[in-house]
Structure 1
């Protein structure tokens, strides 16, 4: 692609505000019997079946896989290419399962697909509750045993039913599934196509809503306007419906339609392909011959090959990540999982800064459920809880310490922030209130007022050293100790230069070249590139001590959130690499202090005392249990970085083609860095992100509110 066609980042325009979403109402499931005596789920809202009475799985394969020519198109992908499919109506997930199985088969047949990716974006207004979905898919596990493993993985990753995008990554298969819950028109409008280096498009559509006669809203003009916006020449669509409203809407959106034999009792179905204006005029004038099916097929194949050439000329192969804190490590991991070679550089060891605490608490900052779709911390927490559990499976396979300990957390602060009534609509698997007796049994607290406090069952503790070990073991990631002093971007690459301290304690100048650079250097990012706003700094000191057996029996049994946080934990292999913690040793941590505009990271005994005092002020019964001499406590100090509006910086720097940043994650790095890393990887590689256009504008490093003249 010529350099002139690379879109330059700019101060983002404010996207059109989407109305606040309603609370998700799960589908009401009824049942019928199909042609062979099997039970078939029916939507109680729309009175229509979720799949054919003849054979739902065969219908998915015939209508959506065959008539989007996916076997041929997916087999033709080149390394690192991402093929994107959008679906209207996730339903039971049967289309996903059929697609997933096909993708697995193709990857086993064509080794060159090892770094190619499949991305499914699917929408659902009334998602099926997990219990109902488990029952439905259990039937398919019996009828189609080849799907059993996929069904198990899908159910394990199925998200809480909360409005917004839920990203599911099935890394072993290079498959990403974004489930957008809520109104389909709003979800499609949220897909950003402006911030990526190369504009992303949908390659194929599964139009699988309930019949237009049952659910007109999913076939509305606003839906097809978004389909047109998100498609390009060569994009295909398939649907079981031949209703006039569907045919006209596709034609008005730039698609040539092709009526073919339907599945089962259906006489006809529609397959469609988006054409350029000349081809559309030819079709309208009747110049298409009787061999229209052949022309339809050749248009898809030709356009797919053109897209392959488009991908190979500009996809980065090697990226440098500056900074080995949590943002840098997770950016490197995400890019490496997309097939890029990544070099992490830092003046110190990985996690030597603010990200290197012995444990980090992963728990959401609760917000009223009507605001969740625009609340980065909640969006990040939902993704992170799945992500860290996946890393646990990798750790277990290597006999390593787990990255995530799912302890649950008791939030004693929520009533101060928003009140329990405002979060009553949250799914219980994410947040639920407890009686005083339940909270006392769970926490071990005896005299604390605990009625109606919040239990966060999916939360827990992150082990940063275990996380570091897994990330640095990735075969495409290398670490280089380097104090970067210069970044030089040219038309064809980026070179960084800096000082490396060799084995003889001598500084030597090193230069590294790459296709792109991601700056994740916290408050030092501004010094590397002045286009990154100079952020405020907040010193934080975390304290911990080794309790006696008597103290351990009386201390809280699980993490607690109050005006600070505390948590018991046991030392694991690797904890002694940075912090003085022995494997198998019981510890209790208390944190953390907040000192504005202070970059000194020396340990201060008075901040240990402050951490103790804050805990005792909120939970007085612990005063007689905690050691009184805090000078013997261990501690670690780090510097948090945050912007004036408290949002991190994610995106490409203004006027640049190859320089990006993910920085200023503040005190919430372990909760939001995984989803932010996914987002920046998507923008770098021309894919749709899991964050809405509104959110991306709010997080842009070029946003106007941060660059106003004083």
Structure 2
């Protein structure tokens, strides 16, 4: 079988004496992985690897992890069905494996298959892995394999930049970069110091090399280093453990709290935010109940269509990097939907982002370059009607309500109000609508957090949005129907699953009333015509008057901020002072809110971030992004950082 070789580093990816045997000898045995899994009292075990390469170490460790769980009866036959509620009942006896790896020059899926498909020991893992694997541009990527209870977090980029951004507590290190003489950056003092930051007392390491540079670097960072006979043609290798007396300050006090894997969780809010967090818990087989007195996706998450594409700035910022990482993460899920699920959730694929000025053209050209986006994600194009555009091939138009319902499949939902969730005190007279506050409650209920004492100081605004529905009776429908893709710029138009065009949306921080606005209707129509480069109809007011005569109101319910007609919808969402989501712990309360107008993109990764924080897992985004999302950023005491420096 061909041994994979790197032209850039003039080195092989694994030993010619056998890749599996090398992984077993150097990393599994020298880190005493199997023994430590048997003795572990924690619900998770975290391995971090420097140099993902072909993925062989990960895939073989995954195989051993499955064998370990089968041997120790952590899985049962009834748990093999991922949708079974019975599976959740055994959560107390289960643990999870986190595998983190860094890679600056990732191989394509086809190359990984070429190098590894002939290794029978990992054939099943390889097949499952490659079905999800895609790295588009430098970022943190999370891949979850719930049936095997294993998570891979791939840090795509220079290790000297990515490792300092990692938030985790590592139990074992696989040091597997190319030889120090050929890739010295992989064995830098920065790497060794970051290893120390991410380690705790007893964290082990192992590496195939016994280079003096490596041994000295590890010793100076606080690791006890030993040598032994190497594998194959290697004369010696080294291994050891972290022995510095001071505990690591990698994680803050809330993150170092008691493990909560044995608990059930409750979530306030059944919109896209609460559903995304519930999905993250469900992936881990952790029981969760969602509460919402209005219903599932009845407010802003109940809009008939939402456009799914990343928000990019001229140069990378935590906000643009979070949007892009969220886009990549949610794309995994959307790409895995079967045909019947896609039919319900996805109405269009691809999107044209119209560039309507020279200033914007320069900005977005620089943006694509600075974010290193390949053409399969975004490319400049010239549209015959719209002019210069960015085409997002993997963008989509989604039905938010169907998406939320999909995320909440097999999740317990209770249509009642929690004690501190009320928006109308008169509801307290209806005792049937109220429940006692459950334990381990997480708040994902948008601007209603302002009603809760511990979170009312968060700078959250209620923002009103009005949508325009264009059906085939609308005079402008034929113009809209001439475009194959949804279009976005300062406004947007997209087709929903009922074959209507949805135009919008207004985004008003000051006008929060629920009533339909004729002025907003006119503004939306005007912007739509500008968006598609079509002359505005001379009979604007006649069109609006004719539409008004056809209004049929569906929802006008007391205590619900959303109103829907057959031709419009009004809803309210929440937005923070700096327009970034709020995800984390505030005054002892776990929250995810203020997703603004981009919740369809950011919610799924936001839920994964919050679940990881609550459960003391490695965090799936860089530290700089986590800090930009933390509620602590609004605290007057800036010295209390979410992540200790």
Q: 1:339 to 1:362 in 2, by over 3 A?
A: same
2:98 pairs with one of 114, 119, 126: 119
Contact 1:497 1:511 in 2 (8 A): no
| CA shift digits 1:326-356 (9 cap, x unpaired) | 1111112212333432221122101111111
The corresponding residue for 2:68 is 106
In structure 2, distance between residues paired with 1:125 and 1:554? 44
Q: Does 1:135 align with 2:111?
A: yes
Residue in structure 2 matched with residue 540 of structure 1 by the alignment: 465
- Distance apart, 1:609 and its partner CA: 3.3
Structure 2 residue matching 1:51: 3-state secondary structure: coil
Aligned partner of 2:491 in structure 1 is 564
Of the three residues 118, 136, 139, the one matched with 1:164 is 139
Q: CA deviation at 1:378?
A: 1.9
Select which of 20, 42, 59 maps to 1:57: 20
Aligned length: 584
**1:226-280: CA deviations, max 9, x gaps?**
11111112211111001112222223333333323322211222221223659xx
The answer for the alignment partner of 1:652 in structure 2 is 585
Q: Give RMSD over aligned pairs.
A: 3.3
CA distance in 1, matches of 2:67, 2:345: 31
Distance 1:136 1:699, change over 3 A: closer
1:85 and 2:8 matched: no
* Of 462, 478, 482, the match for 1:555: 482
C-alpha separation in 2, matches of 1:553 and 1:226: 54
Residue aligned with 1:408, SS: strand
Are 1:254 and 2:203 counterparts?
no
Alignment partners' CA distance in 2, 1:344 and 1:242: 53
Indicate if the aligned counterparts of 1:644 and 1:706 stay in contact, CA closer than 8 A.
Answer: no
Query: Is the contact between residue 500 and residue 507 of structure 1 (CA under 8 Å) also seen in structure 2?
Result: no
Match of 2:567 in 1: 634
1:170 Cα offset (Å):
2.2
Corresponding residue number in structure 2 for 1:702: 632
Unaligned regions of 5+ residues in structure 1, if any? 1-37, 193-199, 279-309, 441-447, 488-495, 572-585
Cα-to-partner distance string for 1:477-526 (whole Å, 9 max, x where unaligned) = 32222223338xxxxxxxx9999989x97645421331x22111211102
The question of whether the paired residues in 2 share the 8 Å contact of 1:498 and 1:509 is answered with no
Within 1, Cα distance between the matches of 2:367 and 2:245?
51
In structure 2, what is the Cα distance between the partners aligned to 1:507 and 1:277? 56
User: Which deviations, in whole Å up to 9, do the C-alpha atoms of 1:368-419 show, x marking residues without a partner?
Assistant: 46447863222222212123334x24x85xx785434560111113865423
Deviations 1:568-621 (A, max 9, x none): 2333xxxxxxxxxxxxxx222212112222333344454333222111022233
Structure 2 equivalent of residue 428 of structure 1: 375
Contact 1:354 1:639 in 2 (8 A): yes
3-state secondary structure, aligned to 2:523: helix
Alignment check: 8 A CA contact 1:389 1:404 kept: no
Correspondence 1:226 to 2:226: no
Shift of residue 668, structure 1, vs aligned partner: 0.8
Asked if 1:244 corresponds to 2:244, the answer is no
Alignment of 1:63-462 (within 5 A): 63-76=26-39, 81-112=43-74, 115-128=94-107, 130=108, 133-141=109-117, 143-192=118-167, 200-275=168-243, 277=245, 315=261, 317-368=263-314, 370-371=316-317, 375-390=321-336, 392-393=337-338, 401-404=343-346, 407-413=349-355, 417=360, 418-424=363-369, 425-434=372-381, 436=382, 439-440=383-384, 448-451=385-388, 453-462=389-398
User: C-alpha offsets along residues 86-132 of structure 1, whole Å, 9 cap, x if unaligned?
Assistant: 1111112221221222223333333326742211111122223x2xx
3-state secondary structure, aligned to 1:510: coil
Kept after mapping to 2: 8 A contact 1:497/1:510? no
Alpha-carbon separation, structure 1, partners of 2:46 and 2:55: 17
1:542-621 alignment runs, 5 A limit: 542-547=467-472, 551=478, 554-571=481-498, 586-621=499-534
**Aligned partners of 2:535 and 2:64: how far apart in 1?**
57
* CA–CA separation in structure 2 for the residues paired with 1:103 and 1:405: 40
Change (3 A) 1:277 1:605: closer
**What is the rounded CA distance, in whole Å, between the counterparts of 1:135 and 1:365 in structure 2?**
31
Q: Secondary structure at the match of 1:433?
A: strand
Q: Does 1:482 align with 2:416?
A: yes
| Aligned-partner SS, 2:163 | helix
C-alpha deviation, 1:458, in angstroms: 1.1
Distance (whole Å) between structure 2 residues aligned to residue 70 and residue 264 of structure 1: 21
Match in the other structure for 2:556: none
CA pair 322-402 structure 1, distance change in 2 beyond 3 A: same
Shift, 1:46, TM fit: 1.8
Whole-Å Cα distance in 2 between the matches of residues 76 and 634 of structure 1?
62
Measure the CA separation in 1 of the matches of 2:69 and 2:203.
22
For residues 175 and 531 of structure 2, what CA distance do their matches in structure 1 show? 54
CA distance in 2, matches of 1:509, 1:563: 42
2: distance between equivalents of 1:108 and 1:564? 53
Distance in 2, Cα, partners of 1:119 & 1:238: 17
Is the 8 Å Cα contact of residues 431 and 456 (structure 1) preserved in structure 2? yes
Quote the offset at 1:55 in angstroms: 1.9
Change (3 A) 1:498 1:614: closer
With the length of structure 2 as denominator, give the TM-score of the two structures: 0.82
Query: Residues 471, 365 of structure 1: CA spacing in aligned structure 2 closer, same or farther, 3 A cutoff?
Result: closer
1:438-462 deviation per Cα after TM superposition (whole angstroms, max 9, x unaligned): x44xxxxxxx2424x2111111022
